A and B are shown apart, each in its own frame.
Chain A
Amino acid sequence: MELAVILALDVVSGAASLLLLCLGLAIIFGMMRIINLAHGEFVMLGAYATVISTNAGVNIWFAMLVISPVFVGLVGLVIERCLIQFLYGRLVDTMLATWGLSLLIIGIVTTIFGNTINGVPTPLGGFAIGAYRSSYYTLFLALMALVVMALIYVVMRYTRFGLIARATMQNPQMAAALGIAPARVYMATFAIGAGLTGLAGGLLAPISGIVPTMGSAYVAKAFISVVGGGAAILSGTASAAGLFGTINQLGAYFTTPVYGEVILFLSAILLIRLLPTGISGRFYKGSL
């Protein structure tokens, strides 16, 4: 029984961290159709922002929740202006450009901070359930995943900006005809997506080893979740992250971490084979 509770916590934390990793990508890829292969590097930049500001004496919560998303959001803004804005509608070209971008970011960070492993200690500490132990931080991650999801929902569903953003993504010509500048909406949306990814990086910093190349460990999982989720950025991504997070954690527990990864990727292939438009293409058609 105690073990079951601990396992349930593992599943929750696995799904929550996957969801946090995916939301920024869901906006950039799911909404804007930009294949951002530098997604992992945005995560890495967020993690570095947290580590460096914490080491400089900033409160860790402020670093994770404010500095990381704002910093990576600004980086995203610059990247959108300098690179992405010329490539809208050219899927393959964005792939190449962002791949180069990811190598460039890794190179820059390595040059500045070197290749050594960095990090910050995990705040909050642990608690016991019977003979087993887990950390409060996993619960905090789950809470953050819910908060971020709610935030995206409210912004997209109830605010003017959300409406404009959704309209622009669906039909930029029509939006432009109604007096909206699609270029500015794209810019803002990309920056928000990058900022959310930076937040994920900041939140994962206390439980990861941080090196310039850490992004590659995350990018594949984030993509399969977003693709598996389909067009609906919230319901699709959340259900895919929940599904894949559970499969990965239970797979890793009952077999080995090696098979856990294999099972995860096999089930992703199976899912895409059975539901070519992703989970939301079938179950949450037309929802946010």
Chain B
Amino acid sequence: MSYSRRQFLRSSIAGSVTILAAPALISRHAYGADDPILVGSLHDQSGPIAASGVPMVAALNLGIEEVNAAGGLLGRPLQLVHYDTQSNIQMYSQYAQQLAVKDKVAVVHGGITSASREAVRPTFDRFKVLYFYNTLYEGGVCDRNTFCTGTTPAQTVEKLVPYAMGKSGKKVYIIAADYNYGQITSKWMAKYVKDNGGEVLSVDFFPLDVTNFGPTISKIQAAKPDLILSALVGGNHTSFYRQWTSAGMKSQIPIASTTFGLVNEPSTLDASESEGILGAYGYFEELTTPASTDFVGKLRAKTPDLPYIAELAAGTYEGFYLWVEAVKKAGVIDRMAVIEALESGITFEGPSGKVVLDHATHHTTRNAYLAEVKERKWSVLETFPEAKPLDTAGVCDLVKNPTDNKQYVIDV
């Protein structure tokens, strides 16, 4: 049989069209009653931010296992579709597209830095995929498709600043990482310092690759503050606490921080370098409530060498369960129905306490905790129940403007 070039071309084109169309043919029949509901996850498992991302995915896996063990959601099992974003913003955009277009997941939990959140949020808006951001951040995101379950400055910084000032004094020196988190958080710090009758001597920003804090330490000494507020971020910035201690300043001027200890600083720094540093978050691994010890126990049993379990992991677990509760309430996984169920005041009792989703801001009302480092562990000093996301509430009202879609930078 002769097989001409033209015939070959024709048949191979027909063949490739069939192959290209195959996923569509398969997926047309994909949504059977017992097929899994797909839950998307975008978290860094490698690169500089991995120490934060690893416990978040562990928490998500734990949640999914628990739901599946209890018979699944709406009678269907849950399945995680996870992509390692490798601490790379480009990977976030790429995988966000993939989750929305190819995997067609029911919901996405993900994003750690504010930069990564802002990289994927428009994609999920465009493709109408429900999105949860479970990290503490600087506040202000107002988007009906997005739910932010982490704490914002009005919940934590507002408690931390007056407590620290009460212990040390009114003159405050602020040091912060030089990107949107540090810039905006330092504004909030300055606001709360002024609200409490204090004075901000200086606000210094540091690019993430700064490792040498010698000149800053001299500058701080020349300014003679009573208290240092720090929003320094990441491995390089940890050297500040070391150099500060080695200069003998640790015993002279106390430090309160909105970022210290989010990963594992208390356990890796020496006790002399971290003792007495104050922090406020929505969750601490050291919390001794039954829900918290249970959560930590389960995570550690599954992954014994997990890094510190901070608010990020607890928030992810709680964000996941808020979604589960909403799906149960809605009875379907369709996006709008679930959003409406979430907006009806969904509540979940999580490891950090009671978490309530707020309709107007899509943020959560949740407990805030104030703690101090003692012998390389956090010691929780005070609990502030039902702290409200007042910063975002001041600018965002999704009840009145459901089509609103931006991050407000609050003018403090």
A interface, CB within 8 angstroms of B:
3, 6-7, 9-10, 13-14, 17, 110, 114-122, 124-128, 131-135, 137-138, 204, 206-211, 213-214, 216-218, 248-250, 252-253, 256-258, 260-261
What residues on B are CB-neighbors of A7 within 8 Å? 215, 218
Chain A residue at smallest Cβ distance from B212: A14
What residues on A are CB-neighbors of B293 within 8 Å? none
Q: List 27 A-B contacts (CB under 8 A).
A: A7-B215, A114-B50, A114-B305, A114-B307, A115-B50, A117-B51, A117-B235, A119-B238, A119-B268, A121-B272, A125-B248, A126-B246, A126-B249, A128-B248, A131-B221, A207-B242, A208-B211, A209-B235, A213-B47, A214-B235, A216-B209, A249-B212, A252-B216, A256-B204, A257-B204, A257-B207, A258-B207
User: In the complex, which residues 260-282 of chain B have their Cβ closer than 8 Å to any Cβ of chain A?
Assistant: 263-265, 268-270, 272-273
Q: Is B348 close to A, CB under 8 A?
A: no
* Distance to closest chain A CB from B273 (angstroms): 6
Additional 17 contacts, C-beta under 8 A, given A10-B215, A133-B221, A207-B243: A7-B215, A10-B218, A117-B238, A120-B270, A121-B242, A121-B245, A126-B249, A134-B248, A209-B237, A210-B235, A214-B236, A216-B209, A249-B215, A250-B215, A257-B207, A258-B206, A261-B210
Which one of A13, A126, A210, A213 lies within 8 Å of B214 (CB-CB)? A13
Is there contact, CB below 8 Å, between A257 and B215? yes
User: Which 7 interchain pairs have the tightest Cβ spacing?
Assistant: A126-B248, A209-B238, A211-B235, A122-B246, A121-B270, A135-B246, A253-B215
* Distance to closest chain A CB from B283 (angstroms): 18
Is there contact, CB below 8 Å, between B51 and A132? no
* Distance to closest chain B CB from A61 (angstroms): 15
* Distance to closest chain B CB from A19 (angstroms): 13
What residues on A are CB-neighbors of B204 within 8 Å? 256-257
Is there contact, CB below 8 Å, between A119 and B269? yes
What residues on B are CB-neighbors of A117 within 8 Å? 51, 235, 238, 263-265, 268
* Distance to closest chain B CB from A12 (angstroms): 10
Which one of A115, A121, A125, A218 lies within 8 Å of B47 (CB-CB)? A115
Chain A residue at smallest Cβ distance from B44: A115
Q: Is B205 close to A, CB under 8 A?
A: yes
Chain B residue at smallest Cβ distance from A3: B222
Q: Is B397 close to A, CB under 8 A?
A: no
What residues on B are CB-neighbors of A127 within 8 Å? 248
Which one of A125, A133, A206 lies within 8 Å of B242 (CB-CB)? A206
* Distance to closest chain B CB from A188 (angstroms): 31
Is there contact, CB below 8 Å, between B205 and A258? yes
Is there contact, CB below 8 Å, between A253 and B218? yes
What residues on A are CB-neighbors of B272 within 8 Å? 121
* Distance to closest chain A CB from B230 (angstroms): 13
CA distance A14 to B236 in the complex (A): 16
* Distance to closest chain A CB from B218 (angstroms): 5
Which one of B51, B209, B210, B248 lies within 8 Å of A116 (CB-CB)? B51
Chain B residue at smallest Cβ distance from A138: B214
CA distance A205 to B163 in the complex (A): 34
Chain A residue at smallest Cβ distance from B238: A209
CA distance A3 to B215 in the complex (A): 11
Is there contact, CB below 8 Å, between A10 and B268? no
Known: A7-B218, A133-B247, A133-B249. A209 touches B242 (CB 8 A): yes
CA distance A216 to B264 in the complex (A): 22
User: In the complex, which residues 320-350 of chain B have their Cβ closer than 8 Å to any Cβ of chain A?
Assistant: none
* Distance to closest chain B CB from A267 (angstroms): 16
* Distance to closest chain A CB from B38 (angstroms): 27
* Distance to closest chain A CB from B277 (angstroms): 15
User: In the complex, which residues 337-386 of chain B have their Cβ closer than 8 Å to any Cβ of chain A?
Assistant: none
User: In the complex, which residues 189-244 of chain B have their Cβ closer than 8 Å to any Cβ of chain A?
Assistant: 204-207, 209-212, 214-216, 218-219, 221-222, 224, 234-239, 242-243
Is there contact, CB below 8 Å, between B239 and A209? yes
* Distance to closest chain B CB from A241 (angstroms): 13
Known: A207-B246, A261-B210. A213 touches B235 (CB 8 A): yes
Is there contact, CB below 8 Å, between B248 and A17? no
Is there contact, CB below 8 Å, between A133 and B248? yes
Taken residue by residue from 246 to 263, chain B's Cβ proximity to chain A (1 for < 8 Å, 0 otherwise) reads as 111100100000000001
Residue of B206, B236, B305 most packed against chain A (CB within 10 A): B236
Which one of B50, B210, B252 lies within 8 Å of A257 (CB-CB)? B210
Which one of B214, B247, B268 lies within 8 Å of A118 (CB-CB)? B268
Chain A residue at smallest Cβ distance from B206: A257
CA distance A125 to B250 in the complex (A): 11
Chain B residue at smallest Cβ distance from A12: B214
Q: Is B123 close to A, CB under 8 A?
A: no
Q: Is B178 close to A, CB under 8 A?
A: yes
What residues on B are CB-neighbors of A6 within 8 Å? 218, 221
Residue of B51, B219, B263 most packed against chain A (CB within 10 A): B219
Q: Is B168 close to A, CB under 8 A?
A: no
* Distance to closest chain A CB from B170 (angstroms): 19
Is there contact, CB below 8 Å, between A257 and B205? yes
* Distance to closest chain A CB from B246 (angstroms): 4
Chain B residue at smallest Cβ distance from A216: B209
Is there contact, CB below 8 Å, between B247 and A135? yes
Is there contact, CB below 8 Å, between A137 and B206? no
CA distance A256 to B205 in the complex (A): 7
Is there contact, CB below 8 Å, between A257 and B216? yes
Is there contact, CB below 8 Å, between A124 and B246? yes
* Distance to closest chain A CB from B270 (angstroms): 4
* Distance to closest chain B CB from A232 (angstroms): 26
CA distance A122 to B247 in the complex (A): 9
Is there contact, CB below 8 Å, between A115 and B46? yes
What residues on A are CB-neighbors of B247 within 8 Å? 126, 133-135
Is there contact, CB below 8 Å, between A217 and B218? no
What residues on A are CB-neighbors of B394 within 8 Å? none
Is there contact, CB below 8 Å, between B235 and A122? no
* Distance to closest chain B CB from A30 (angstroms): 23
Chain B residue at smallest Cβ distance from A118: B268
